[in-house]
Chains A and B, each alone.
Chain A
Amino acid sequence: MPGVNKATNVTYLTMQVKKETQDVRAMVVGIMANSEPTSSGWPPYLIAGRHITRSHYEAVADVKTGFHLGDKIVIRRNKYEVVGLTRRMVSSSGDPMIFIPLKDAQEAQFLKDNDAILQNRRRTSENPIFNQPAIPNLLESTITAQSTNSFVNAILVKVSPLYSPEDVANNIARWKRLTVYTRDQMETILVGKLIATSAKQIAMFLVILAVVSAAIVAFIIYTLTMDKIREIAVLKLIGTRNSTIASMILQQSLALGFIGFIVGKITATFAAPAFPKYVLLIPQDSIVGFFIVMLICTLASIVAIRIAIKVDPAEAIGG
Protein backbone atom coordinates (compact mmCIF):
# COMPACT_ATOMS: atom_id res chain seq x y z
CA MET A 1 0.00 0.00 0.00
CA PRO A 2 1.60 3.33 -0.97
CA GLY A 3 2.54 5.44 1.99
CA VAL A 4 2.69 2.54 4.47
CA ASN A 5 6.21 2.30 5.83
CA LYS A 6 5.56 -0.42 8.40
CA ALA A 7 2.52 -2.26 9.74
CA THR A 8 2.36 -4.07 13.08
CA ASN A 9 -0.38 -6.31 14.46
CA VAL A 10 -1.52 -5.86 18.05
CA THR A 11 -4.24 -7.21 20.28
CA TYR A 12 -5.62 -5.71 23.44
CA LEU A 13 -7.65 -7.38 26.14
CA THR A 14 -8.39 -6.31 29.69
CA MET A 15 -8.38 -9.21 32.12
CA GLN A 16 -7.36 -10.46 35.55
CA VAL A 17 -3.74 -11.65 35.59
CA LYS A 18 -2.74 -14.03 38.36
CA LYS A 19 0.48 -14.37 40.29
CA GLU A 20 0.14 -17.12 42.88
CA THR A 21 -2.77 -15.86 44.99
CA GLN A 22 -2.51 -12.28 43.77
CA ASP A 23 -4.94 -11.05 41.13
CA VAL A 24 -4.20 -7.91 39.10
CA ARG A 25 -6.52 -6.21 36.64
CA ALA A 26 -4.40 -5.31 33.63
CA MET A 27 -4.57 -4.65 29.91
CA VAL A 28 -2.75 -7.46 28.11
CA VAL A 29 -1.17 -6.30 24.86
CA GLY A 30 -0.10 -8.78 22.22
CA ILE A 31 2.93 -7.57 20.24
CA MET A 32 4.80 -9.15 17.35
CA ALA A 33 7.66 -10.81 19.21
CA ASN A 34 9.87 -11.25 16.17
CA SER A 35 9.97 -7.54 15.29
CA GLU A 36 12.30 -4.79 16.53
CA PRO A 37 11.71 -3.37 20.04
CA THR A 38 11.30 0.04 18.43
CA SER A 39 8.27 -1.18 16.51
CA SER A 40 4.83 0.28 17.09
CA GLY A 41 3.01 -1.28 20.00
CA TRP A 42 6.10 -2.19 21.97
CA PRO A 43 6.80 -0.52 25.31
CA PRO A 44 8.95 2.51 24.41
CA TYR A 45 11.43 2.04 27.27
CA LEU A 46 12.22 -0.37 30.08
CA ILE A 47 13.26 0.46 33.61
CA ALA A 48 14.54 -3.05 34.32
CA GLY A 49 15.19 -6.34 32.52
CA ARG A 50 14.92 -6.77 28.77
CA HIS A 51 12.38 -6.82 25.94
CA ILE A 52 10.57 -9.98 24.84
CA THR A 53 12.90 -12.10 22.70
CA ARG A 54 11.01 -15.39 22.49
CA SER A 55 7.77 -16.11 20.69
CA HIS A 56 6.03 -17.53 23.75
CA TYR A 57 5.66 -17.23 27.50
CA GLU A 58 7.61 -14.04 28.17
CA ALA A 59 6.08 -10.81 29.43
CA VAL A 60 7.01 -7.19 30.05
CA ALA A 61 4.88 -5.60 32.78
CA ASP A 62 4.24 -2.05 33.94
CA VAL A 63 5.55 -1.53 37.48
CA LYS A 64 2.03 -0.60 38.62
CA THR A 65 1.06 -4.27 38.27
CA GLY A 66 3.27 -4.93 41.28
CA PHE A 67 5.10 -7.71 39.44
CA HIS A 68 8.87 -8.12 39.63
CA LEU A 69 11.50 -9.49 37.28
CA GLY A 70 11.42 -13.26 37.27
CA ASP A 71 7.83 -13.48 38.56
CA LYS A 72 5.72 -16.24 37.06
CA ILE A 73 2.31 -14.92 36.07
CA VAL A 74 -0.69 -16.79 34.74
CA ILE A 75 -2.71 -15.55 31.77
CA ARG A 76 -5.55 -17.92 31.00
CA ARG A 77 -3.94 -21.37 30.96
CA ASN A 78 -0.34 -20.43 30.42
CA LYS A 79 2.45 -19.24 32.67
CA TYR A 80 4.65 -16.33 31.63
CA GLU A 81 7.91 -15.10 33.06
CA VAL A 82 8.28 -11.35 33.62
CA VAL A 83 11.49 -10.48 31.76
CA GLY A 84 11.18 -6.69 31.73
CA LEU A 85 9.52 -3.83 33.58
CA THR A 86 8.25 -0.61 32.06
CA ARG A 87 6.62 2.51 33.49
CA ARG A 88 3.64 4.78 32.68
CA MET A 89 2.16 2.29 30.23
CA VAL A 90 -1.52 2.31 31.14
CA SER A 91 -4.82 1.87 29.31
CA SER A 92 -7.32 4.70 28.87
CA SER A 93 -9.01 3.54 32.08
CA GLY A 94 -5.70 3.59 33.97
CA ASP A 95 -5.08 -0.19 34.11
CA PRO A 96 -1.38 -1.10 33.87
CA MET A 97 -0.29 -2.92 30.72
CA ILE A 98 1.35 -6.33 30.32
CA PHE A 99 3.01 -7.05 26.99
CA ILE A 100 3.15 -10.64 25.74
CA PRO A 101 3.83 -12.20 22.32
CA LEU A 102 1.02 -11.72 19.80
CA LYS A 103 0.30 -15.44 19.28
CA ASP A 104 -0.10 -15.99 23.01
CA ALA A 105 -2.34 -12.95 23.29
CA GLN A 106 -4.54 -14.16 20.43
CA GLU A 107 -4.85 -17.53 22.08
CA ALA A 108 -5.66 -15.93 25.42
CA GLN A 109 -8.24 -13.66 23.80
CA PHE A 110 -10.12 -16.25 21.76
CA LEU A 111 -9.48 -19.43 23.73
CA LYS A 112 -12.66 -21.20 24.78
CA ASP A 113 -12.85 -23.21 27.98
CA ASN A 114 -12.60 -27.00 27.91
CA ASP A 115 -16.32 -27.64 28.21
CA ALA A 116 -17.07 -25.29 25.33
CA ILE A 117 -14.44 -27.00 23.17
CA LEU A 118 -15.79 -30.47 23.96
CA GLN A 119 -19.35 -29.37 23.25
CA ASN A 120 -18.27 -27.80 19.98
CA ARG A 121 -16.37 -30.93 18.92
CA ARG A 122 -19.35 -33.08 19.78
CA ARG A 123 -21.72 -30.87 17.77
CA THR A 124 -19.32 -30.87 14.81
CA SER A 125 -18.80 -34.64 14.88
CA GLU A 126 -22.56 -35.19 15.01
CA ASN A 127 -23.01 -32.99 11.93
CA PRO A 128 -23.08 -35.32 8.90
CA ILE A 129 -21.73 -32.58 6.66
CA PHE A 130 -18.43 -32.47 8.59
CA ASN A 131 -18.30 -36.16 9.51
CA GLN A 132 -18.40 -38.02 6.20
CA PRO A 133 -16.95 -41.53 6.21
CA ALA A 134 -15.82 -41.00 2.65
CA ILE A 135 -13.61 -38.05 3.65
CA PRO A 136 -11.82 -39.23 6.82
CA ASN A 137 -9.73 -36.06 7.45
CA LEU A 138 -12.59 -33.60 7.05
CA LEU A 139 -13.77 -33.74 10.65
CA GLU A 140 -10.25 -33.26 12.06
CA SER A 141 -9.54 -30.36 9.72
CA THR A 142 -12.80 -28.67 10.62
CA ILE A 143 -12.17 -28.98 14.35
CA THR A 144 -8.62 -27.64 13.96
CA ALA A 145 -9.91 -24.68 11.95
CA GLN A 146 -12.51 -23.93 14.63
CA SER A 147 -9.98 -23.90 17.46
CA THR A 148 -7.47 -21.53 15.88
CA ASN A 149 -7.80 -17.96 14.67
CA SER A 150 -5.74 -15.25 13.08
CA PHE A 151 -7.69 -12.22 14.27
CA VAL A 152 -5.99 -9.17 15.65
CA ASN A 153 -7.61 -6.15 17.29
CA ALA A 154 -5.71 -3.54 15.37
CA ILE A 155 -2.93 -2.92 12.92
CA LEU A 156 -0.62 -0.04 13.71
CA VAL A 157 0.66 1.66 10.61
CA LYS A 158 3.75 3.86 10.35
CA VAL A 159 3.38 6.28 7.45
CA SER A 160 6.29 6.85 5.10
CA PRO A 161 7.85 10.30 5.00
CA LEU A 162 6.24 12.78 2.58
CA TYR A 163 2.87 11.02 2.83
CA SER A 164 -0.08 12.60 4.59
CA PRO A 165 -1.55 10.33 7.28
CA GLU A 166 -5.05 11.43 6.20
CA ASP A 167 -4.43 10.40 2.58
CA VAL A 168 -2.99 7.01 3.60
CA ALA A 169 -5.93 6.46 5.98
CA ASN A 170 -8.41 7.33 3.22
CA ASN A 171 -6.72 4.94 0.79
CA ILE A 172 -6.74 2.06 3.30
CA ALA A 173 -10.39 2.70 4.15
CA ARG A 174 -11.32 2.91 0.47
CA TRP A 175 -9.37 0.00 -0.97
CA LYS A 176 -9.07 -2.38 1.98
CA ARG A 177 -12.50 -1.54 3.36
CA LEU A 178 -11.15 -1.20 6.89
CA THR A 179 -11.92 1.29 9.60
CA VAL A 180 -8.91 3.59 9.87
CA TYR A 181 -8.07 6.30 12.38
CA THR A 182 -5.14 8.70 12.24
CA ARG A 183 -3.27 9.61 15.42
CA ASP A 184 -5.21 12.90 15.69
CA GLN A 185 -8.52 11.09 15.29
CA MET A 186 -7.52 8.54 17.93
CA GLU A 187 -6.59 11.32 20.34
CA THR A 188 -9.94 12.98 19.69
CA ILE A 189 -11.74 9.70 20.36
CA LEU A 190 -9.66 9.06 23.49
CA VAL A 191 -10.12 12.52 24.98
CA GLY A 192 -13.58 13.31 23.68
CA LYS A 193 -15.26 9.93 24.06
CA LEU A 194 -13.36 7.46 26.23
CA ILE A 195 -12.23 9.67 29.07
CA ALA A 196 -14.68 12.57 28.70
CA THR A 197 -17.22 11.01 31.03
CA SER A 198 -14.56 10.14 33.59
CA ALA A 199 -13.19 13.67 33.32
CA LYS A 200 -16.66 15.13 33.90
CA GLN A 201 -17.17 12.80 36.84
CA ILE A 202 -13.87 13.90 38.42
CA ALA A 203 -14.65 17.55 37.63
CA MET A 204 -17.96 17.23 39.49
CA PHE A 205 -16.13 15.75 42.49
CA LEU A 206 -13.67 18.64 42.32
CA VAL A 207 -16.48 21.20 42.24
CA ILE A 208 -18.06 19.60 45.30
CA LEU A 209 -14.67 19.51 47.04
CA ALA A 210 -14.09 23.17 46.16
CA VAL A 211 -17.48 24.16 47.58
CA VAL A 212 -16.86 22.17 50.76
CA SER A 213 -13.34 23.64 51.07
CA ALA A 214 -14.73 27.15 50.63
CA ALA A 215 -17.30 26.48 53.34
CA ILE A 216 -14.60 25.16 55.70
CA VAL A 217 -12.27 28.11 55.07
CA ALA A 218 -15.19 30.54 55.42
CA PHE A 219 -16.16 28.92 58.73
CA ILE A 220 -12.57 29.08 60.05
CA ILE A 221 -12.12 32.73 59.02
CA TYR A 222 -15.58 33.57 60.39
CA THR A 223 -14.71 31.94 63.74
CA LEU A 224 -11.32 33.66 63.90
CA THR A 225 -12.97 37.00 63.12
CA MET A 226 -15.70 36.51 65.73
CA ASP A 227 -12.97 35.76 68.30
CA LYS A 228 -11.35 39.08 67.44
CA ILE A 229 -14.43 41.33 67.42
CA ARG A 230 -13.15 43.34 70.38
CA GLU A 231 -9.71 43.76 68.78
CA ILE A 232 -11.39 44.85 65.55
CA ALA A 233 -13.51 47.36 67.49
CA VAL A 234 -10.31 48.68 69.10
CA LEU A 235 -8.61 48.95 65.72
CA LYS A 236 -11.57 50.92 64.37
CA LEU A 237 -11.69 53.07 67.50
CA ILE A 238 -8.04 54.07 67.14
CA GLY A 239 -8.61 55.09 63.54
CA THR A 240 -7.96 52.05 61.36
CA ARG A 241 -9.73 52.19 58.00
CA ASN A 242 -12.24 49.48 57.06
CA SER A 243 -10.13 48.70 54.00
CA THR A 244 -7.10 47.99 56.23
CA ILE A 245 -9.13 45.62 58.41
CA ALA A 246 -10.61 43.91 55.34
CA SER A 247 -7.12 43.55 53.93
CA MET A 248 -5.90 41.91 57.17
CA ILE A 249 -8.74 39.36 57.07
CA LEU A 250 -8.14 38.68 53.38
CA GLN A 251 -4.43 38.17 54.04
CA GLN A 252 -5.27 35.75 56.84
CA SER A 253 -7.56 33.79 54.51
CA LEU A 254 -4.99 33.77 51.69
CA ALA A 255 -2.27 32.67 54.11
CA LEU A 256 -4.52 29.80 55.21
CA GLY A 257 -5.10 28.85 51.56
CA PHE A 258 -1.40 29.12 50.74
CA ILE A 259 -0.43 26.83 53.63
CA GLY A 260 -3.20 24.43 52.62
CA PHE A 261 -2.00 24.44 49.02
CA ILE A 262 1.62 23.74 50.01
CA VAL A 263 0.55 20.90 52.32
CA GLY A 264 -1.74 19.53 49.60
CA LYS A 265 0.94 19.79 46.91
CA ILE A 266 3.55 18.02 49.04
CA THR A 267 1.05 15.35 50.06
CA ALA A 268 -0.05 14.82 46.43
CA THR A 269 3.55 14.58 45.23
CA PHE A 270 4.45 11.94 47.79
CA ALA A 271 1.12 10.10 47.72
CA ALA A 272 0.70 9.92 43.91
CA PRO A 273 2.95 6.85 43.46
CA ALA A 274 0.87 4.97 46.03
CA PHE A 275 -2.33 5.44 44.03
CA PRO A 276 -3.53 2.22 42.38
CA LYS A 277 -3.75 3.91 38.98
CA TYR A 278 -1.12 6.20 37.52
CA VAL A 279 -1.59 9.85 38.53
CA LEU A 280 -0.14 12.43 36.17
CA LEU A 281 0.79 15.66 37.99
CA ILE A 282 1.64 18.47 35.62
CA PRO A 283 2.86 21.95 36.63
CA GLN A 284 0.05 23.71 34.77
CA ASP A 285 -2.51 21.90 36.94
CA SER A 286 -0.65 23.05 40.06
CA ILE A 287 -0.60 26.67 38.87
CA VAL A 288 -4.31 26.62 37.99
CA GLY A 289 -5.01 24.86 41.31
CA PHE A 290 -3.08 27.53 43.21
CA PHE A 291 -5.16 30.33 41.68
CA ILE A 292 -8.39 28.42 42.31
CA VAL A 293 -7.38 28.01 45.98
CA MET A 294 -6.65 31.74 46.21
CA LEU A 295 -10.03 32.51 44.61
CA ILE A 296 -11.83 30.17 47.01
CA CYS A 297 -10.08 31.79 49.99
CA THR A 298 -10.93 35.27 48.72
CA LEU A 299 -14.60 34.33 48.38
CA ALA A 300 -14.53 32.56 51.76
CA SER A 301 -13.31 35.71 53.52
CA ILE A 302 -16.23 37.84 52.28
CA VAL A 303 -18.60 36.89 55.13
CA ALA A 304 -15.95 37.62 57.78
CA ILE A 305 -15.04 40.93 56.12
CA ARG A 306 -18.70 41.99 56.07
CA ILE A 307 -18.99 41.23 59.78
CA ALA A 308 -15.75 43.09 60.56
CA ILE A 309 -16.86 46.15 58.62
CA LYS A 310 -20.13 46.26 60.57
CA VAL A 311 -18.35 46.20 63.96
CA ASP A 312 -19.12 49.38 65.90
CA PRO A 313 -15.97 51.00 67.34
CA ALA A 314 -18.08 51.91 70.41
CA GLU A 315 -18.01 48.20 71.33
CA ALA A 316 -14.41 48.69 72.43
CA ILE A 317 -15.47 51.00 75.25
CA GLY A 318 -17.20 49.84 78.39
CA GLY A 319 -18.34 46.36 79.42
Chain B
Amino acid sequence: MAGKGIRIEGLKKRYGDGDTAVYALKGVDMKVDAGEVVGLIGPSGSGKTTLLKCLGAVIDPTEGRMTLGDEVIFDNGWKVDDLRALRRDKIGFVFQAPYLIPFLDVTDNVALLPMLAGVPNEEARRRAKNLLTALDVQHRAIAMPSQLSGGEQQRVAIARGLVNHPPIILADEPTAPLDSERAMAVIRILNNMAQEYETAIIVVTHDEKIIPTFKRIYHIRDGITHEERGEGRNID
Protein backbone atom coordinates (compact mmCIF):
# COMPACT_ATOMS: atom_id res chain seq x y z
CA MET B 1 0.00 0.00 0.00
CA ALA B 2 2.66 2.48 0.91
CA GLY B 3 5.29 4.06 -1.23
CA LYS B 4 8.87 4.77 -0.38
CA GLY B 5 8.66 8.49 0.08
CA ILE B 6 9.55 11.26 -2.31
CA ARG B 7 12.91 12.43 -3.61
CA ILE B 8 13.39 15.83 -5.28
CA GLU B 9 16.63 16.77 -7.01
CA GLY B 10 17.56 20.13 -8.50
CA LEU B 11 13.96 21.26 -8.93
CA LYS B 12 13.67 24.67 -10.59
CA LYS B 13 10.68 26.75 -11.52
CA ARG B 14 10.93 29.80 -13.74
CA TYR B 15 8.15 32.31 -14.34
CA GLY B 16 8.38 34.41 -17.51
CA ASP B 17 11.04 34.42 -20.21
CA GLY B 18 14.06 36.43 -21.24
CA ASP B 19 14.73 39.60 -19.27
CA THR B 20 11.57 39.19 -17.21
CA ALA B 21 12.32 35.61 -16.16
CA VAL B 22 12.13 35.00 -12.42
CA TYR B 23 13.19 31.79 -10.72
CA ALA B 24 10.84 30.99 -7.82
CA LEU B 25 12.70 27.74 -7.21
CA LYS B 26 16.42 27.70 -7.88
CA GLY B 27 17.30 24.08 -7.34
CA VAL B 28 15.39 22.40 -4.55
CA ASP B 29 16.67 19.15 -3.09
CA MET B 30 14.46 17.25 -0.68
CA LYS B 31 13.99 13.71 0.48
CA VAL B 32 11.15 12.53 2.64
CA ASP B 33 10.98 8.88 3.58
CA ALA B 34 7.89 6.80 3.97
CA GLY B 35 6.45 7.17 7.48
CA GLU B 36 8.22 10.49 7.99
CA VAL B 37 6.72 13.92 8.68
CA VAL B 38 8.93 16.88 7.76
CA GLY B 39 8.32 20.58 8.11
CA LEU B 40 8.76 23.07 5.29
CA ILE B 41 9.11 26.58 6.60
CA GLY B 42 10.09 29.88 5.12
CA PRO B 43 9.05 33.52 4.88
CA SER B 44 6.44 34.80 2.46
CA GLY B 45 7.70 34.84 -1.13
CA SER B 46 10.37 32.23 -0.40
CA GLY B 47 8.86 29.70 -2.84
CA LYS B 48 6.90 27.43 -0.46
CA THR B 49 3.66 27.62 -2.39
CA THR B 50 5.42 27.21 -5.74
CA LEU B 51 7.20 24.11 -4.43
CA LEU B 52 3.92 22.71 -3.12
CA LYS B 53 2.25 23.33 -6.49
CA CYS B 54 5.10 21.57 -8.28
CA LEU B 55 4.92 18.63 -5.89
CA GLY B 56 1.15 18.59 -6.28
CA ALA B 57 1.48 18.39 -10.08
CA VAL B 58 -0.65 21.46 -10.66
CA ILE B 59 2.12 23.53 -12.25
CA ASP B 60 5.03 22.35 -14.37
CA PRO B 61 8.53 22.63 -12.92
CA THR B 62 11.05 24.04 -15.36
CA GLU B 63 13.68 21.41 -14.69
CA GLY B 64 14.79 18.85 -12.12
CA ARG B 65 13.74 15.38 -11.12
CA MET B 66 11.03 14.02 -8.82
CA THR B 67 10.74 10.39 -7.78
CA LEU B 68 7.65 9.11 -6.01
CA GLY B 69 8.40 5.74 -4.45
CA ASP B 70 10.12 3.87 -7.26
CA GLU B 71 8.50 5.85 -10.02
CA VAL B 72 10.16 8.84 -11.66
CA ILE B 73 7.28 11.23 -12.17
CA PHE B 74 9.26 14.22 -13.44
CA ASP B 75 12.61 14.38 -15.17
CA ASN B 76 12.86 17.69 -17.00
CA GLY B 77 9.30 16.98 -18.01
CA TRP B 78 6.37 14.96 -16.69
CA LYS B 79 6.78 11.21 -17.05
CA VAL B 80 3.15 10.43 -16.39
CA ASP B 81 0.39 10.96 -18.93
CA ASP B 82 -2.49 11.74 -16.62
CA LEU B 83 -1.61 14.31 -13.96
CA ARG B 84 -5.21 14.29 -12.71
CA ALA B 85 -4.96 10.56 -11.98
CA LEU B 86 -1.51 11.11 -10.42
CA ARG B 87 -3.00 13.69 -8.02
CA ARG B 88 -5.99 11.49 -7.31
CA ASP B 89 -4.11 8.23 -6.66
CA LYS B 90 -0.61 9.19 -5.49
CA ILE B 91 -0.86 12.53 -3.71
CA GLY B 92 -2.95 13.45 -0.70
CA PHE B 93 -3.76 17.07 0.14
CA VAL B 94 -4.60 18.68 3.45
CA PHE B 95 -5.33 22.40 3.39
CA GLN B 96 -5.41 25.29 5.83
CA ALA B 97 -9.19 25.26 5.62
CA PRO B 98 -10.86 21.85 5.34
CA TYR B 99 -12.79 22.70 2.12
CA LEU B 100 -15.20 19.84 2.65
CA ILE B 101 -18.03 19.51 0.15
CA PRO B 102 -20.93 21.14 2.00
CA PHE B 103 -23.72 18.99 0.56
CA LEU B 104 -22.04 15.62 1.23
CA ASP B 105 -21.96 14.03 4.67
CA VAL B 106 -18.69 13.21 6.41
CA THR B 107 -18.46 9.64 5.09
CA ASP B 108 -19.17 10.68 1.50
CA ASN B 109 -16.67 13.55 1.71
CA VAL B 110 -13.98 11.00 2.54
CA ALA B 111 -15.28 8.29 0.22
CA LEU B 112 -15.53 10.68 -2.74
CA LEU B 113 -11.88 10.22 -3.78
CA PRO B 114 -11.87 6.44 -4.07
CA MET B 115 -15.27 6.64 -5.77
CA LEU B 116 -13.76 9.00 -8.36
CA ALA B 117 -10.93 6.46 -8.80
CA GLY B 118 -13.49 3.80 -9.65
CA VAL B 119 -13.55 1.98 -6.31
CA PRO B 120 -17.02 0.49 -5.69
CA ASN B 121 -19.14 2.67 -3.41
CA GLU B 122 -19.35 0.13 -0.58
CA GLU B 123 -15.60 -0.43 -0.53
CA ALA B 124 -15.00 3.36 -0.66
CA ARG B 125 -17.35 3.90 2.29
CA ARG B 126 -15.71 1.05 4.23
CA ARG B 127 -12.31 2.67 3.73
CA ALA B 128 -13.72 6.03 4.77
CA LYS B 129 -15.27 4.59 7.95
CA ASN B 130 -12.00 2.85 8.90
CA LEU B 131 -10.12 6.12 8.58
CA LEU B 132 -12.78 8.07 10.45
CA THR B 133 -12.47 5.51 13.25
CA ALA B 134 -8.68 5.86 13.25
CA LEU B 135 -9.07 9.65 13.47
CA ASP B 136 -11.73 9.35 16.20
CA VAL B 137 -14.53 11.07 14.26
CA GLN B 138 -16.52 7.95 13.46
CA HIS B 139 -19.38 9.25 15.64
CA ARG B 140 -19.85 12.12 13.15
CA ALA B 141 -19.92 9.84 10.10
CA ILE B 142 -23.37 10.91 8.94
CA ALA B 143 -23.10 14.55 10.02
CA MET B 144 -22.85 17.34 7.47
CA PRO B 145 -19.64 19.43 7.45
CA SER B 146 -21.46 22.48 8.83
CA GLN B 147 -22.32 20.47 11.97
CA LEU B 148 -18.67 19.75 12.83
CA SER B 149 -16.25 21.73 14.97
CA GLY B 150 -13.09 23.14 13.36
CA GLY B 151 -10.95 20.31 14.75
CA GLU B 152 -13.40 17.67 13.54
CA GLN B 153 -13.50 19.22 10.08
CA GLN B 154 -9.72 19.18 9.87
CA ARG B 155 -9.63 15.52 10.92
CA VAL B 156 -12.16 14.71 8.20
CA ALA B 157 -9.97 16.62 5.72
CA ILE B 158 -6.98 14.54 6.84
CA ALA B 159 -9.02 11.37 6.36
CA ARG B 160 -9.84 12.56 2.83
CA GLY B 161 -6.13 13.11 2.15
CA LEU B 162 -5.30 9.60 3.34
CA VAL B 163 -8.17 7.60 1.95
CA ASN B 164 -6.46 6.52 -1.28
CA HIS B 165 -3.33 5.56 0.71
CA PRO B 166 -1.11 7.96 -1.26
CA PRO B 167 2.66 7.62 -0.87
CA ILE B 168 2.86 11.37 -0.16
CA ILE B 169 0.67 13.91 1.59
CA LEU B 170 1.11 17.65 1.13
CA ALA B 171 -0.26 19.57 4.10
CA ASP B 172 -0.57 23.32 3.54
CA GLU B 173 -0.69 25.05 6.93
CA PRO B 174 -3.05 22.44 8.37
CA THR B 175 -2.99 23.88 11.89
CA ALA B 176 -3.35 27.59 11.05
CA PRO B 177 -6.97 28.00 12.15
CA LEU B 178 -6.63 25.80 15.26
CA ASP B 179 -5.70 26.50 18.87
CA SER B 180 -2.58 24.91 20.42
CA GLU B 181 -4.32 21.83 21.74
CA ARG B 182 -6.09 21.06 18.48
CA ALA B 183 -2.97 21.91 16.44
CA MET B 184 -0.96 19.39 18.47
CA ALA B 185 -3.73 16.84 18.01
CA VAL B 186 -3.56 17.30 14.23
CA ILE B 187 0.25 16.86 14.21
CA ARG B 188 -0.10 13.76 16.39
CA ILE B 189 -2.62 12.35 13.94
CA LEU B 190 -0.36 13.12 10.96
CA ASN B 191 2.57 11.37 12.67
CA ASN B 192 0.44 8.33 13.52
CA MET B 193 -1.01 8.15 10.02
CA ALA B 194 2.43 8.54 8.42
CA GLN B 195 3.71 5.54 10.38
CA GLU B 196 0.59 3.45 10.04
CA TYR B 197 0.22 3.95 6.28
CA GLU B 198 3.94 4.48 5.53
CA THR B 199 3.17 7.81 3.98
CA ALA B 200 5.63 10.66 3.50
CA ILE B 201 4.12 13.89 4.79
CA ILE B 202 5.36 17.41 4.05
CA VAL B 203 3.84 20.04 6.32
CA VAL B 204 4.14 23.66 5.19
CA THR B 205 3.73 25.86 8.23
CA HIS B 206 4.41 29.16 9.95
CA ASP B 207 3.04 27.82 13.21
CA GLU B 208 5.68 28.26 15.93
CA LYS B 209 3.82 25.82 18.18
CA ILE B 210 4.28 22.83 15.91
CA ILE B 211 7.74 23.52 14.41
CA PRO B 212 9.53 21.91 17.42
CA THR B 213 7.65 18.65 16.81
CA PHE B 214 9.40 17.91 13.49
CA LYS B 215 12.49 15.74 13.46
CA ARG B 216 13.60 17.25 10.18
CA ILE B 217 12.85 20.65 8.79
CA TYR B 218 13.48 22.15 5.37
CA HIS B 219 13.97 25.89 5.39
CA ILE B 220 13.29 27.54 2.08
CA ARG B 221 14.57 31.00 1.25
CA ASP B 222 14.84 32.62 -2.17
CA GLY B 223 13.91 29.35 -3.85
CA ILE B 224 16.63 27.25 -2.21
CA THR B 225 16.08 24.70 0.56
CA HIS B 226 18.35 24.00 3.53
CA GLU B 227 17.87 20.90 5.59
CA GLU B 228 18.03 21.18 9.36
CA ARG B 229 17.58 18.72 12.20
CA GLY B 230 14.46 19.52 14.23
CA GLU B 231 13.81 19.13 17.93
CA GLY B 232 11.48 16.21 17.36
CA ARG B 233 9.63 17.07 20.55
CA ASN B 234 7.46 14.28 21.89
CA ILE B 235 3.80 15.12 21.45
CA ASP B 236 2.19 11.95 22.83
Contact = CB atoms under 8 A, between A and B. Distances in A.
Interface in B66-95: 84-85, 87-89, 93, 95
Contacts of A314: 53, 56, 58-59
Nearest to B92: A238
Interface string B108-148: 00001100110000000000000000000000000000000
Contact of B88 (A231, A238, A318): A238
Contact of B116 (A239, A312, A318): A239
A240 interface: yes
B49 A237 contact: no
A306 interface: no
B99 interface: yes
Contacts, number: 61
Given A240-B116, A317-B49, A234 B93 contact: yes
A318 B52 contact: yes
A231 B85 contact: no
Interface in A261-319: 312-314, 316-319
Given A231-B99, A231-B101, A240-B116, A318 B87 contact: no
A312 B57 CA distance: 12
B172 interface: yes
Contact of A239 (B59, B88, B99): B88
Nearest to A314: B58
Interface string A230-245: 1100111111110010
B18 interface: no
A237 to B, nearest CB: 6
A318 B58 CA distance: 12
A82 to B, nearest CB: 58
A228 B102 CA distance: 9
A237 B87 contact: yes
Interface string B29-65: 0000000000000000000110011001011000000
A316 B161 CA distance: 14
B99 A318 contact: no
B234 to A, nearest CB: 30
A65 to B, nearest CB: 51
Contact of A318 (B85, B89, B101, B172): B172
Given A231-B99, A234-B95, A314-B53, A239 B58 contact: no
Contact of B93 (A231, A237, A240, A241): A237
Given A231-B101, A234-B93, A234-B99, A317 B53 contact: yes
B43 to A, nearest CB: 13
Nearest to A233: B99
A290 B102 CA distance: 28
Contacts of A230: 97, 99
Contacts of B49: 317-319
A206 B48 CA distance: 56
A62 B89 CA distance: 72
Contacts of A235: 101
Residue among B52, B101, B170 with most chain A CB within 10 A: B101
A234 B160 CA distance: 11
B56 A237 contact: yes
Given A234-B95, A314-B59, A317-B58, A239 B52 contact: no
B95 A316 contact: yes
A238 B58 contact: no
A253 to B, nearest CB: 14
Contacts of A240: 112, 116
Interface string A123-146: 000000000000000000000000
Contacts of A237: 56, 58, 87, 93
A318 B56 CA distance: 12
A261 B87 CA distance: 40
A316 B99 contact: yes
A319 B172 CA distance: 10
Interface in B187-201: none
Interface of A: 228, 230-231, 234-241, 244, 312-314, 316-319
11 contacts: A231-B102, A237-B87, A239-B85, A239-B88, A239-B89, A313-B58, A314-B56, A316-B58, A316-B99, A317-B58, A319-B49
Given A241-B116, A316-B58, 5 more contacts: A237-B93, A239-B88, A239-B89, A313-B58, A316-B93
The 7 closest A-B pairs by CB, nearest first: A239-B88, A318-B49, A314-B58, A234-B99, A313-B58, A239-B87, A239-B84
